[in-house]
Structure 1
Amino acid sequence: MVVSLLGLLEGLRYAFPALLFVFFLSCLAHASCTLQKQTAVHSHRRAIVLYLLLVIAVTYAAQCILSLAYWYGVKQDRMLSLLACALVYALELAILSDSQDPVWYSYAGSLGITLTFEPLHTALSLRLRTNPSPESFLVVDLLIFAARLACLVAALIFCFSWHEPESSGSQDGNEHQSLLRSKAADGSEDALIAYGATETNSDEATKLTTKDPESDWERSQRLVEEQRDKRLKDSGNWFTYAQSFKLFVPYIWPVNNRRLQIHAVLVGLCMLVNNGLNVLIPNQLGVVTKTLTESTNPDNHITSLNPWIQVLIFAGLKLCASEAGLSLLRQRLWLPVEQYSERAMVEAAHSHIINLDAHFHDTKSLSDMLMAIQHGESITKMLDTMCFALLPNLIDLGVAFIYLTAKFGAWEGLITISTATFFIYLSTAAIARSRATRQAYSKAWYEEWYIMNSGLSGWTTVASFNQVEYETNRFSAAVQDRISKSKAYILNVFQSQALQYLVLSAGLLAGLFLAVWKVTQEHSIDASDFVVLLTYWSQLVAPLNFFAGLGKSVNRDLIDAERLLEIMETKPKVVNKPNVSAFHFKSGHVEFKDVHFSYDKKKEILRGVSFDVLPGQTIALVGHTGAGKSSILKLLNRFYDVTEGQIKIDGQDVRDVDLHSLRAHIGVVPQNPVLFNDSVLDNVRYARLDASDEEVYNACKAAAIHDHIIGFSDGYNTRVGERGMKLSGGELQRVAIARAILKQPSIVLLDEATSAVDTETESKIQEALRRLGRNRTTFIVAHRLSTIINADRILVVNNGEILEDGTHEGLISAGGKYADLWSKQIFTTPKDTQEDDDSALEDCHSKSTNNLVVSETRLELTQADNNAHNCDEEAAQMKTPSGRKNEVRIYCQ
């Protein structure tokens, strides 16, 4: 009976701290994964619990010291239990002191477990006192136990029943915040506290108001982190959040390639073998040491093991674990899988982005898209980290604990797990504390790069305004700031590393002292085991460093992956309907029926636009900027879909036909053409990839650009630069026109196609466009009204509505909006003198004027034989009461 109770007591002493440690860490992991946080931070509650946890940890340490001082009947299991419990509560104390939003059930559960085990453990200890210690020892020990018990009960009560008073100044939650301005010290209301914000003191307010403006890099990082946090909050836990990345699985795992799947399985086997080598190598080194010791012992003439063979085995194990062994095999097996993932991810991201609609490309910056594609590798990197780094290192730590405990005893196991736990905790805490310095360094580096890039790329502006010295000083200040921030960050890293290695050194020293004691005093192990322990500890540094930086690396990969995930989850708004039929062009009859359109569903761009275009007609769209002219062309080309109404071509709704077959019949000349950084020949041929060189030349001749291209240094093989930057505005537009001519479209869309050419070239292009638009339905958006006077119909667009519809002559005669636009563009404003007015009237007579329009009075003279006398009479009527003539705008046709 006594033996069984002793076994039970020993088991309780080992199981209690282990259960306490596992429970607390499991609760922390569960709370972190499920995003459980205390909604309010009660500072008084946390402070009281902190002091109570400190007293509990001290009581365990005091019992350890008491046991060492008396050393009566003290067993290893008691000392281990007390020391392990002290370390667990010290860990809880440290984590609670750093946590601003603790999850109390993890602490309450630990206290409950302790309250359950401690009385049972103490009762059994008192009953089984086979070697009684002095009464003074027992009394002091019971007093310490009673103090700990009281602290446990008090801490448990505070964890469950403490409530902050409603009227306390530390109210939490937005509902308790004032909606009014917080008055400043002088009684003014300058200090505005936003709803849901926390009021700050004057020093904090000064810091907030003097904070540097947010850089582009900071803004980009902040938006991605907010997007990740929002997605994580909506998911509710990390497991559900991780499932949002499952759309990347087909690109990461070779689902349809059995050979690559076998490669991945073999890589996993290689890593498991490597875990085994991490145990075999230190053990084999101990065997070599033992054989050498026995061979040099004069009393031992015959050794059971040959040292030469043992050395060869050790060398073979080291070779297998080196870069020339399993590591090389693993990399060789994994390389095809990694390359598959990289290729599949990049191709999928590029394909998805290029197939998105105009709304996405109009609202997303190019740098964000390129960054998202490049960061696709962060998905595979994160998977590699989890599968081929986290799992093997976790196995290494578990095997190390089991192996060292089995070989050197429970004390060595306690030293190993304590060292690993506090090393990881201190490392993660140091990383968290260095976040501010790391962000400051990153911001300074970005600012330095931005200043250098802007100054060099804008050198012409810098030199023109004589600001070379200013840019030099600005860049020098940025470099100095980056160096100072780098110094602070690097010193922080050095201090963190020093602290980490102090913990490792303390653990190693404790383990070595234990090994020396066992060799010299207990004689339970020999000198070879000392070498084994030393070697094994050196191998634990790598996995511990990995776990210390795991959170930082995963967080960085998640932020990078979030950029791509957001884009990959974006669905195009303009898509083909299921089982859609191809577009069949017949004659080019276009109908707009009560079309409404809005880009953001807030401001309506088009309001009930309706018109009918007959096949082969040329329709011009005019109006002020932002009236909706270009939007009509985008809807016709189906870059966007109408909000209400219909757009039909030859009786087919553009939403009911295949998108690609529709655009195959439409040719576009945009206002700002974009060329690829390729030759002129390839840029023009892009409209029809199977076109011959001769067809390209003819298209360029029709666009009045052929002679210019021949004059280039390499002719048609001249590269035009990024986005065509090596070409002038006129050359760029004419290349775009040649590209449209080469396509030979059925419907032509011209958006300010001649806005950047001179008058002489314009006349040539107009002739080319007339040939291009012959027997084709053509839409022209123009601000220069002289380019559309020959259009079959002119639609005046104003505030998203068709205000006027007619021919050039008819709209001029109507004297409406178009006539007003025409007069403002064509008429000249003579000087306010009698001589200039007479000169203008004489010029009107000399050109045999058909119409005379005076802008101020809208006076129109329609007789073709008006002479200078009539013009003088009309001008005389324009005198103001002061006797001076108004400015007269005269158009002579």
Structure 2
Amino acid sequence: MRLADASTVYRLTHFGTYAVVTILETALCLQHSWFSIYHDHVQLALHILRVLLLVWLCAITLELAPRISNTDEDSATPLYPGSERTPHGALPKLDLEGDSQTKGDNGRNASNEQLQRVEKLGGWWAYLKEFRIFLPYIIPARNKKFYFYGVIVILLILSDRASNMLGPRLLGDIVQQVYELQGTDQLPWRHILFLVFVIKIPHDLVLTPIQRGVLTRFNYWSYQSLFGFSFETIMGLSLEYHDNKKSGEVQEAINQARSLHKLVDDFIVIWIPFVLDVGLAFGYLTYLFDVYVGLVLITTYVCYGIVSYKLTPWVVKQGPAYKEAGRAAANIMSESIANWPAAFYFNRQDYQKCRFNDVTKRELWLETQVYDRRQILTIAHNLVLILGHCAAMLLAARRAVRRDKSVGDFVTLLMYWAILTKPLFTLQHVYKELIALTIDAEALLQLHQTEPTVVDAEDAKDLVFKGGKVEYRNVSFAYNGQKPVIKELNFTVPPGSTVAFVGQTGGGKTTTCDKLLFRGYDVSSGSILIDGQDIRHVTQHSLRETLGIVRQEQCFYNDTVLEVVRFARLEATNEEVYEACRNAAVHDQILRFPKGYQSMIGERGVKLSGGERQRLAIAQVFLRNPKIIVLDEATSTVDNVTESEIQDAFSRICEGRTTFVIAHRLSTVEHADQIFVLDQGRIAERGNHEQLLEIRGKYYDLWTKK
């Protein structure tokens, strides 16, 4: 099947084919020589020659098997619907607004791209190796209990296999004895009691619950490890990524950790027992009847696999579109909840409802399509099992009618067939789940393959603070290689001085003082130095521990006022938090809240007014007590009285500290030591307040219009 479907020939695929044929030829050869009384020596010799040739072909294909390079460009790019490289390392954007045809095309493209990637890598095995980065987290090898429980699981699996082998044999013996004891008062007590108390009760009431309990712990460990790893990855990515992410898509990607850790359970509970059962059953049924019964069993498995291989891609073809519709619905719901005020004030609740309903209707329609196709696959699977069962019964019944085998042996075959085909009903879902899982997990894989754009240098050292001198040397910067927003900035901020940046919106003020100084982005050219140390050569942790900022848009967790302020310095006492709030002129306002400092502020501080949110952010800076301060429109949403109080507090906290001030209210920066007027990413004017007014340039125009 692999050779017929592949557009490129892979020697490992040839090897798999030759190996299977070798095993079957060997089995036929042995059966011919051992069980046939009137065998033909020439035919036997030809059988042996074919086996030797197949063994030689296997050796040749292994020797010449090509090695797949992990550095291949296509394999390095993770697959995901719309897998073209997205700016700043963000997850690819889902078409939430596109029509149904577009979404369906995206789903089909994902499936086609997946198959192309499998083809490119040389098969599913090479493709699945891409997910090996998750193995240390799926399999908790560092957990000491893992090895202890692992031994228990192995013993339980072996005992389960023994139970599966002995149970049908004992039941067959019981039926045979009942048949022979007909018309008497005797009962096969020994066999019945042995089956119940030695096989069934220990297996069903003791071993199986223990096995499930151990595997449940495995799942908990792997899920916790993988989920934590995913969260750590998100928190470790650069500002460049978070500026472009879609929270709903990222959350959906992280949630795929729940699916990935299920691989451990499937592998231990389904695959290992299945392989052992097939091997043992083939050997025992061949011994009990003949090789033909064993071959019927193997043929049934092979035909079942062919049906799965051929039909499953068709069944899961709608899977990517269905999953995409689910992600779209989750993203719309997440954004609608987070941005509810926008819908409220623009009176667009009905519009959002329509968007959500359209996506969910498509999701349900696709789910129905997937379900119908699965039913067709189930019918095909059942047909294979019925035909195989019929063939096995005819062979066994023929031996029993001829009295070559007993009725008990016939019953044993029937019981083995039920036990050995039962896992197939589970396995028919495993292949589909494996494909669907890889499509789902592509988002998680891409997330983990996203590299931070800002990383510590190998020789990075902690920043040594010597006063707070900041230098921008010929700094230029462009987002994602586009048009530069900062162009050849050169200025020096002496230790303990205050500099202000003013200018039109979009002039590059926040980029200069916030994103570049905090090293959310690295400069495109030039360098930024603090006390003579290039910030690219110091650790990010030590750099940001030195800095503090009050941003125009605050980011708060949904917690109490006390804990929100304490977030700036986790070890701070309650009294220190209260003092910081007094300095920010918000302490009295907090005391008027229903629960004071224990009041919840809501998601992103929605329960607070704009001025209260800004003053809480200022309180965080007072509590953090940084050595270098950035004030980005720190008083833009407070009234004049409060602004005066905050400015007095700022004068105290900024005294002796290097301070960057970004402001549109020029009255807040007129006492700055230096004022830089930014215009289209360049410094158009520089000087103090009086000097700039004398120039009568851009600053003068801004001052006269304030």
Deviation at residue 235 of structure 1 after TM alignment: 4.9
Q: Which residue is 1:565 aligned to?
A: 445
Equivalent residues in 2 for 1:93-492 (5 A)?
212=100, 214=102, 235=121, 238-297=124-183, 307-316=188-197, 318-319=199-200, 322-438=203-319, 485-492=366-373
Give secondary structure in 2 for the equivalent of 1:636.
Answer: coil
Q: What is the identity, as a one-letter code, of the residue corresponding to 2:685?
A: E
The structure with higher relative contact order (CA 8 Å, sep 6+) is: 2
Return the alpha-carbon distance in structure 2 between the equivalents of residues 454 and 796 of structure 1.
37
Deviation at residue 623 of structure 1 after TM alignment: 2.1
Distance 1:474 1:748, change over 3 A: closer
Return the alpha-carbon distance in structure 2 between the equivalents of residues 433 and 477 of structure 1.
25
Return the alpha-carbon distance in structure 2 between the equivalents of residues 474 and 647 of structure 1.
46
Q: Which residue is 1:530 aligned to?
A: 410
Q: Which residue is 1:718 aligned to?
A: 599
Q: What is the identity, as a one-letter code, of the residue corresponding to 1:349?
A: S
Equivalent residues in 2 for 1:801-816 (5 A)?
801-816=682-697
Return the alpha-carbon distance in structure 2 between the equivalents of residues 471 and 388 of structure 1.
44
Distance 1:472 1:629, change over 3 A: closer
Deviation at residue 227 of structure 1 after TM alignment: 8.6
Residues 143-169 of structure 1, C-alpha deviations (whole Å, 9 max, x = no match)? xxxxxxxxxxxxxxxxxxxxxxxxxxx
Number of residue equivalences: 633
Return the alpha-carbon distance in structure 2 between the equivalents of residues 465 and 398 of structure 1.
67
Task: Answer yes or no: is the 8 Å Cα contact 1:622–1:781 preserved in 2.
Answer: yes
TM norm structure 1: 0.64
Task: Answer yes or no: is the 8 Å Cα contact 1:621–1:782 preserved in 2.
Answer: yes
Residues 365-388 of structure 1, C-alpha deviations (whole Å, 9 max, x = no match)? 333443343323444322443354
Q: Which residue is 1:10 aligned to?
A: none
Give secondary structure in 1 for the equivalent of 2:481.
Answer: coil
Q: Which residue is 1:66 aligned to?
A: none
**Corresponding position: 1:540 with 2:540:** no
Residues 393-438 of structure 1, C-alpha deviations (whole Å, 9 max, x = no match)? 1222233333333323344234323322223322443333233455
**Corresponding position: 1:598 with 2:486:** no
Unaligned runs of 5+ in 2: 40-97
Return the alpha-carbon distance in structure 2 between the equivalents of residues 575 and 475 of structure 1.
39
Task: Answer yes or no: is the 8 Å Cα contact 2:108–2:318 preserved in 1.
Answer: no
Deviation at residue 444 of structure 1 after TM alignment: 6.2
Q: Which residue is 1:742 aligned to?
A: 623
**Corresponding position: 1:765 with 2:651:** no
Residues 185-243 of structure 1, C-alpha deviations (whole Å, 9 max, x = no match)? xxxxxxxxxxxxxxxxxxxxxxxxx962645x996x78987996787677555555444
Return the alpha-carbon distance in structure 1 between the equivalents of residues 533 and 356 of structure 2.
60
Give secondary structure in 1 for the equivalent of 2:100.
Answer: coil
**Corresponding position: 1:37 with 2:44:** no
Return the alpha-carbon distance in structure 1 between the equivalents of residues 180 and 625 of structure 2.
94
Give secondary structure in 1 for the equivalent of 2:205.
Answer: coil
Deviation at residue 805 of structure 1 after TM alignment: 0.3
Return the alpha-carbon distance in structure 2 between the equivalents of residues 631 and 461 of structure 1.
26
Task: Answer yes or no: is the 8 Å Cα contact 2:163–2:203 preserved in 1.
Answer: no
Return the alpha-carbon distance in structure 2 between the equivalents of residues 524 and 377 of structure 1.
53
Task: Answer yes or no: is the 8 Å Cα contact 1:268–1:388 preserved in 2.
Answer: no
Give secondary structure in 2 for the equivalent of 1:671.
Answer: coil
Q: Which residue is 2:95 aligned to?
A: none
Q: What is the identity, as a one-letter code, of the residue corresponding to 1:591?
A: E
Task: Answer yes or no: is the 8 Å Cα contact 1:419–1:503 preserved in 2.
Answer: yes
Task: Answer yes or no: is the 8 Å Cα contact 1:396–1:543 preserved in 2.
Answer: no
Distance 1:605 1:437, change over 3 A: closer
Q: Which residue is 1:575 aligned to?
A: 455
Distance 1:622 1:588, change over 3 A: same
Deviation at residue 715 of structure 1 after TM alignment: 0.9
Equivalent residues in 2 for 1:4-15 (5 A)?
none
Identity among equivalent pairs (%): 35
Distance 1:780 1:481, change over 3 A: closer
Residues 662-699 of structure 1, C-alpha deviations (whole Å, 9 max, x = no match)? 32221111121111111111111111222222222222
Task: Answer yes or no: is the 8 Å Cα contact 2:248–2:331 preserved in 1.
Answer: no
Return the alpha-carbon distance in structure 2 between the equivalents of residues 411 and 772 of structure 1.
90
Return the alpha-carbon distance in structure 1 between the equivalents of residues 511 and 205 of structure 2.
63
Unaligned runs of 5+ in 1: 1-24, 40-100, 132-209, 827-893
Task: Answer yes or no: is the 8 Å Cα contact 1:218–1:443 preserved in 2.
Answer: no
Residues 116-154 of structure 1, C-alpha deviations (whole Å, 9 max, x = no match)? x9xxx9xx9xxx9x99xxxxxxxxxxxxxxxxxxxxxxx
Task: Answer yes or no: is the 8 Å Cα contact 2:227–2:257 preserved in 1.
Answer: yes
Deviation at residue 758 of structure 1 after TM alignment: 2.6
Q: What is the identity, as a one-letter code, of the residue corresponding to 2:418?
A: S
Identify which range, 361-370 or 704-713, moves more after superposition. Answer: 361-370
Distance 1:469 1:619, change over 3 A: closer
Give secondary structure in 2 for the equivalent of 1:604.
Answer: coil
Give secondary structure in 2 for the equivalent of 1:647.
Answer: strand
Task: Answer yes or no: is the 8 Å Cα contact 2:6–2:119 preserved in 1.
Answer: no
Which of 502, 510, 513 in structure 1 is aligned with 2:391? 510
Give secondary structure in 1 for the equivalent of 2:485.
Answer: strand
Give secondary structure in 2 for the equivalent of 1:673.
Answer: coil
Q: What is the identity, as a one-letter code, of the residue corresponding to 1:685?
A: R
Q: What is the identity, as a one-letter code, of the residue corresponding to 1:418?
A: T
Q: Which residue is 2:73 aligned to?
A: none
Return the alpha-carbon distance in structure 1 between the equivalents of residues 412 and 463 of structure 2.
78
Task: Answer yes or no: is the 8 Å Cα contact 2:586–2:615 preserved in 1.
Answer: yes
Return the alpha-carbon distance in structure 1 between the equivalents of residues 380 and 280 of structure 2.
25
Q: Which residue is 1:817 aligned to?
A: 698
Task: Answer yes or no: is the 8 Å Cα contact 1:597–1:606 preserved in 2.
Answer: yes
Residues 342-389 of structure 1, C-alpha deviations (whole Å, 9 max, x = no match)? 232233332333233222322333334433433234443224433542
Q: Which residue is 2:433 aligned to?
A: 553
Residues 585-604 of structure 1, C-alpha deviations (whole Å, 9 max, x = no match)? 23222211112223323432
Q: Which residue is 2:508 aligned to?
A: 628
Distance 1:738 1:451, change over 3 A: closer
Aligned residues: CA RMSD: 3.9
Distance 1:569 1:226, change over 3 A: farther
Task: Answer yes or no: is the 8 Å Cα contact 2:323–2:440 preserved in 1.
Answer: no
Distance 1:417 1:226, change over 3 A: closer
Q: Which residue is 1:203 aligned to?
A: none
Return the alpha-carbon distance in structure 1 between the equivalents of residues 681 and 331 of structure 2.
41
Distance 1:229 1:765, change over 3 A: farther
Return the alpha-carbon distance in structure 1 between the equivalents of residues 346 and 519 of structure 2.
45
Distance 1:491 1:542, change over 3 A: same
Q: Which residue is 1:788 aligned to?
A: 669
Distance 1:523 1:38, change over 3 A: same
Distance 1:568 1:231, change over 3 A: farther
Return the alpha-carbon distance in structure 2 between the equivalents of residues 715 and 234 of structure 1.
62
Return the alpha-carbon distance in structure 2 between the equivalents of residues 481 and 360 of structure 1.
30
Q: Which residue is 1:70 aligned to?
A: none
Q: Which residue is 2:520 aligned to?
A: 639
